[in-house]
Amino acid sequence: MFQAAVQTFSVSAAAASVYRGVFLVGFRRYCKKTSTKLRVSEALTGAEVGADVKVQGWVRSVRSQKNNIFFHVNDGSSLKSLQVVAGAEMNDPLLTFGSAVEVTGILKKSPHQKQPVELEAEQIRVVGGCNPVDFPFKIKERHSLEYIRQLPHLRCRTNAFSSLLRIRSEATAAIHSYFKDHGFVQIHTPIITSNDCEGAGELFKVEPSGPDFGDDEEFFSVPAFLTVSGQLHLEVMSGAFSRVYTFGPTFRAENSQSRRHLAEFFMVEAEISFTESLKDLTKVMEDMFRSATERVLARCVEDVDLFHRHVTPGHRWGCDLMTEHEKHLVKHCGNVPVFVTDYPYDLKPFYARDNQDQPRHTTAAVDLLVPGIGELCGGSLREERLDLLMARLKQVGLEDNYSWYLDLRRFGAVPHGGFGLGFERYLQCILGVDNIKDVIPFPRFSHSCLL
Amino acid sequence: MFQAAVQTFSVSAAAASVYRGVFLVGFRRYCKKTSTKLRVSEALTGAEVGADVKVQGWVRSVRSQKNNIFFHVNDGSSLKSLQVVAGAEMNDPLLTFGSAVEVTGILKKSPHQKQPVELEAEQIRVVGGCNPVDFPFKIKERHSLEYIRQLPHLRCRTNAFSSLLRIRSEATAAIHSYFKDHGFVQIHTPIITSNDCEGAGELFKVEPSGPDFGDDEEFFSVPAFLTVSGQLHLEVMSGAFSRVYTFGPTFRAENSQSRRHLAEFFMVEAEISFTESLKDLTKVMEDMFRSATERVLARCVEDVDLFHRHVTPGHRWGCDLMTEHEKHLVKHCGNVPVFVTDYPYDLKPFYARDNQDQPRHTTAAVDLLVPGIGELCGGSLREERLDLLMARLKQVGLEDNYSWYLDLRRFGAVPHGGFGLGFERYLQCILGVDNIKDVIPFPRFSHSCLL
């Protein structure tokens, strides 16, 4: 059995003296006195009223009165900050908007309605100053999403973007939970691949930058690209697991700086074996959407509210981002999310399942269109019938590249299908954010790769 | 408020007729009769004994007797398969090892000790055949990890690799849970970056493969690479969140086919603000390791047991993978995981915090070495003092590239630190797997990028 005992020791430059440390057990206190270290979100619950506590974070506002100073401390654990009250004698010229502080004191019930508790400071330590002249964000100003986007290394310090990051983290966890609760196995599909899933398209090529490999030699022996989808790799797993999913970055070398496109974006993809119809997919798509959204709305009430009230008021359900056809269809159905199914055979990739409904001739493909965003999800049943798949691959000249894919149909093939959801578009959809660059920590697009 | 009502309709090639479907509610049954569809793991709990059920999966063994046939069905939901018993008249020549089947019948208490329940078949449908001559895995044979590694599109169909994938999925969830439970916000750090975190090293360059961009023009306007670490991007977030982490792929263009290296591997990285010493980091490293490992061992008992008993017996704690020094240190401490701290200043990257302990001159860096694997984690306190960091960046000629990084120290800087854990090495460590290629779904290394 694995034994997780851990020892510590130091190694100097000479690696001479070895210090055998004690096992690390229990919780180590950060300070000499008995203050309980609390996160701001913990302090705000009010459970520790009366306790001697220590809070660490960044100053979001400062106000001086004759006898007292008031300031708000935020540590990213919630949108709300903790108000600190201190005697005027404790003021410090370094205590400014944006500075980092450590405050110890007694947590008290607040006399004001605005906050449940406040911290009566006994000691204030400015850990890191912040020159208000140089700092690009100003106290009490609400900076636009466009402005803060120019400062990717600092924008997490604004209310709007820290809310976005908490929502994004919660939405990620919610999606993982949905799949786990429904018996899906998570697969880490590869980023570097020798496949081109869509059979064409704007790919990024991957090559070593160093001098080890010459121009004539490929690092991987074959041309290698950044993945555009984990679908085919999930299909591999669909030969042994009835439910699999992946959640990770995908790439398009699209020469676009539009509000809808990124060169690097996140996709949730699922593949389900033993499907009988598209309804087996649309049910999971809808369930996942509902379940994740309900959880985000329930757990990030204040953060979501900030977007709906202040950041993007009136921008929700705007239709300007969609192509004309999509806009028409969504409007026709009453401005609610809409599944569009059974696309023409000739428009869909080789793996889409033939509905064999000539002369219309469609495939069992489905898109989920949502107001204001357009395509949020795309999916299809996959062609599991060896003869049909082989004929189609021959027709498009790809049968040699995909012999391994045909193997999946040779050995214990089952009807299966799957879908992908664009995670940034999902966030845009629930928050009403116009520009996709405002819902990802570090947006990458043509002519921009900051940091 | 967002309204998640969803409608379905079909669009034909002519997009003429629009069908307004009903809202998708409730659970749709897959079959006409009233059999309850169960996953194999659900059937094996025994809770549904006596029920009329349907099970779908792949055949893992077949045995014929005069009056009966017996076979095992697996659907990836557990290592254990469900035994099916059927009258000899229900036999089908297509019912072979590897074929896909759908079985309906009555779930009964098994008369045998080996399994708690068995399925008495009323109907058997072979969904997809599997020619035993062509299928590269043979019934009752235990294929080596080396052999199945050659078949990346099929190896998930072996017991060993399907166990590995379940363990990997559970370990991923366990790590996410640990961080979520401890107030960390998950950040999706970028894959494509214009930074080179380690200041040197084997990078992959990213360029569009299409004709849109000429040789003289960069897609991103600057050279862009695959990330080697999300650390610097996490440090950005450490200016607003006291606890952040990332879990995703990282890359090294290392010309190695060794058992320890991959070109694409997964890393867990965390960054913690308001640290006081390396112990603040080692505590989290150890806690996370313990917590994830305990959960994996508790929830994947049979899968882990398969590795410890059959797949890698005797290979655990083998020392052949480690460099000599690491081996020596781990052995010296009694073959348990060991933290090595305070590395020489000159050996560590610019961001490591100076211990200012001349003449030794070390940095507050730490590695976690484990038996059989070597370095599992590496971390450090980061230099938060602007003057020291600026001097060091100047010294190595990088001050222009990292002006944004200096900004993080200019505005509300706090003592902070972080670490990274190699996820594949972690899996090797807890399972005793020699070759890193056997713990990742699709290994990428020099001269190999299959699928």
The chain-wide mean pLDDT, for chain A, equals 89
DSSP A341-371: E--BGGGS-TTBPB---TTT-BBSEEEEEET
Annotate A151-167 with b (16+ C-beta within 10 A) or e (fewer): bbbbbbbbbbbbbbbbb
B181 and B117 in a common domain:
no
CA angle B223–B227–B231, rounded 5-degree value: 120
pLDDT of residue A20 exceeding 60: no
A204–B206 C-beta distance less than 8 A: yes
CA–CA separation, B324 vs B304, rounded Å? 29
CA–CA separation, A151 vs A158, rounded Å? 11
pLDDT of amino acid A213: 61
Distance, first Cα to last Cα, chain B:
44
How far is the alpha carbon of A143 from chain B, nearest alpha carbon, in Å?
16
B210–A253 C-beta distance less than 8 A: yes
B280 and B185 in a common domain:
yes
Is the alpha carbon torsion for A173, A179, A182, A186 positive or negative?
negative
Nearest Cβ partner of B337 from A6, A189, A223?
A: A6
Report the residue of chain A nearest B276, measured CA to CA: A30
Looking at the domain assignment, is residue B217 inside a domain? yes
pLDDT of amino acid B26: 28
- CB-based burial label for B237 (10 Å; 0-12, 13-18, 19+): buried
Looking at the domain assignment, is residue B393 inside a domain? yes
Instruction: Identify all chain A residues contacting B8, using CB atoms and an 8 Å cutoff.
Output: 282, 338-339, 341
pLDDT of amino acid B37: 96
Q: Give me the domain span that covers residue A224.
A: 147-438
A9–B341 C-beta distance less than 8 A: yes
Closest to B58 measured CA to CA, from B204, B144, B156: B156
Question: Mean pLDDT throughout A332-358?
Answer: 92
Nearest Cβ partner of B339 from A8, A220, A333?
A: A8
B211 and B181 in a common domain:
yes
A222 and A73 in a common domain:
no
pLDDT of residue A27 exceeding 60: no
pLDDT of amino acid A349: 92
Looking at per-residue pLDDT, the higher value among A78 and B7 belongs to: A78
B262 and B227 in a common domain:
yes
A114: domain CATH number? 2.40.50.140
CA–CA separation, B450 vs B106, rounded Å? 43
Contact B341, B365 (CB under 8 A): yes
Residue with tokens 């960069």: B218
Structural domain ending residue among the three candidates B81, B100, B128:
B128
How far is the alpha carbon of A395 from chain B, nearest alpha carbon, in Å?
21
Contact B384, B416 (CB under 8 A): yes
A401: domain CATH number? 3.30.930.10
A13–B384 C-beta distance less than 8 A: no
Instruction: Identify all chain A residues contacting B383, using CB atoms and an 8 Å cutoff.
Output: none
pLDDT of amino acid B328: 81
CA–CA separation, A363 vs A344, rounded Å? 6
- The SS3 assignment for A270 reads strand
**CA dist A261 → A168, A422, A437, B300 (Å):** 18, 11, 8, 40
B165–A185 C-beta distance less than 8 A: yes
B206–A242 C-beta distance less than 8 A: no
Number of helices (H) and strands (E), helices first, in chain B?
10, 17
- CB-based burial label for B16 (10 Å; 0-12, 13-18, 19+): exposed
Chains A and B form CB pairs within 8 A to the count of 470
Question: Mean pLDDT throughout A306-311?
Answer: 90
Instruction: Identify all chain B residues contacting A195, using CB atoms and an 8 Å cutoff.
Output: 451
- Predicted structure pTM score: 0.92
Distance, first Cα to last Cα, chain A:
44
How far is the alpha carbon of A169 from chain B, nearest alpha carbon, in Å?
5
The letter for the amino acid at A391 is A
One pLDDT digit (tens) per residue for chain B, 451 residues:
344 445 554 444 333 222 222 222 223 334 455 799 999 999 999 999 999 999 999 999 999 999 999 999 999 999 999 999 999 999 999 999 999 999 999 999 998 888 889 999 999 999 999 999 999 999 988 999 999 999 999 999 999 999 999 999 999 999 999 999 999 999 999 999 998 655 556 899 999 987 666 666 899 999 999 999 999 999 999 999 999 999 999 999 998 888 989 999 999 999 999 999 999 999 999 999 999 999 999 999 999 999 999 887 765 744 445 677 787 888 888 888 899 999 999 999 999 999 999 999 999 999 999 988 889 999 999 999 999 999 999 998 888 889 999 999 999 999 999 999 999 999 999 999 999 999 999 999 999 999 9
pLDDT of residue A243 exceeding 70: yes
Lowest-pLDDT choice from A328-337, A418-427, B95-104 = A328-337
Residue with tokens 């921009």: A448
DSSP A368-425: EEETTTEEEEEEEEE---HHHHHHHHHHTT-TTTTHHHHHHHHBS---EEEEEEEHHH
A415 and A317 in a common domain:
yes
Nearest Cβ partner of A183 from B39, B98, B414?
A: B39
Give the model confidence (pLDDT) of A360-401 as tens digits.
Answer: 999 999 999 998 888 999 999 999 999 999 999 999 888 888
Report the residue of chain A nearest B76, measured CA to CA: A241
**CA dist B181 → A206, B234, B373 (Å):** 37, 19, 28
**Predicted ipTM?**
0.92
* Strand pairing report for A82-87 and A117-128: parallel
Instruction: Identify all chain A residues contacting B251, using CB atoms and an 8 Å cutoff.
Output: 191-192
Looking at the domain assignment, is residue B447 inside a domain? no
CA–CA separation, B79 vs B60, rounded Å? 11
pLDDT of residue A318 exceeding 60: no
Contact A424, A439 (CB under 8 A): yes
Closest to A262 measured CA to CA, from A446, A406, A135, A129: A446
A151 and A123 in a common domain:
no
pLDDT of residue A314 exceeding 90: no
Looking at the domain assignment, is residue B76 inside a domain? yes
E-assigned strands of B129-279? Answer: 185-186, 192-193, 204-208, 225-226, 243-251, 264-273
**CA dist B7 → A292, B10, B210, B217, B394 (Å):** 19, 10, 38, 46, 61
pLDDT of amino acid B115: 84
Looking at the domain assignment, is residue B306 inside a domain? yes
A267 and A191 in a common domain:
yes
Instruction: Identify all chain B residues contacting A210, using CB atoms and an 8 Å cutoff.
Output: 202-203, 253
- The SS3 assignment for B270 reads strand
Instruction: Identify all chain B residues contacting A429, using CB atoms and an 8 Å cutoff.
Output: 2
A189–B441 C-beta distance less than 8 A: yes
A425 and A294 in a common domain:
yes
CA–CA separation, A189 vs A266, rounded Å? 13
Contact B142, B129 (CB under 8 A): no
Looking at the domain assignment, is residue B8 inside a domain? no
Report the residue of chain A nearest B429, measured CA to CA: A2
B411 and B374 in a common domain:
yes
Instruction: Identify all chain A residues contacting B416, using CB atoms and an 8 Å cutoff.
Output: none
The residue count of chain B comes to: 451
How far is the alpha carbon of B253 from chain A, nearest alpha carbon, in Å?
6
Lowest-pLDDT choice from A232-241, A402-411, B17-26, B56-65 = B17-26
The residue count of chain A comes to: 451
Looking at per-residue pLDDT, the higher value among A22 and B256 belongs to: B256
Per the structure, the count of domains in chain B is 2
**CA dist B104 → B76, B144, B376, B393 (Å):** 18, 34, 47, 69
How far is the alpha carbon of B55 from chain A, nearest alpha carbon, in Å?
10
How far is the alpha carbon of B289 from chain A, nearest alpha carbon, in Å?
8
Looking at the domain assignment, is residue A231 inside a domain? yes
B184 and B93 in a common domain:
no
How far is the alpha carbon of A99 from chain B, nearest alpha carbon, in Å?
4
Closest to B292 measured CA to CA, from B161, B438, B164, B426: B426
A253–B411 C-beta distance less than 8 A: no
CA–CA separation, B41 vs B198, rounded Å? 45
Q: How confident is the model at residue A335 (pLDDT cuts 50, 70, 90)?
A: confident
Task: Record the tokens describing residue B124, joined without a space.
Answer: 């058997």
Question: Mean pLDDT throughout A240-253?
Answer: 97
Residue with tokens 């996490």: B234
A171 and A306 in a common domain:
yes
Nearest Cβ partner of A205 from B102, B209, B415?
A: B209
Q: Which residue, among B324, B411, B430, B444, would best test binding to A if mutated, counting the most A CBs under 10 Å from its CB?
A: B411
Contact B113, B77 (CB under 8 A): no
Looking at the domain assignment, is residue A134 inside a domain? no
Structural domain ending residue among the three candidates B128, B160, B184:
B128
pLDDT of amino acid A24: 29
Looking at per-residue pLDDT, the higher value among A213 and B46 belongs to: B46
Instruction: Identify all chain A residues contacting B157, using CB atoms and an 8 Å cutoff.
Output: 239-240, 411-412
Q: ω before A359 within 30° of 0 (cis)?
A: yes
How far is the alpha carbon of A242 from chain B, nearest alpha carbon, in Å?
6
Residue with tokens 């708690």: B116
- CB-based burial label for A106 (10 Å; 0-12, 13-18, 19+): middle
For residue B183, which phi and psi values (nearest 5 degrees)? 80, 20
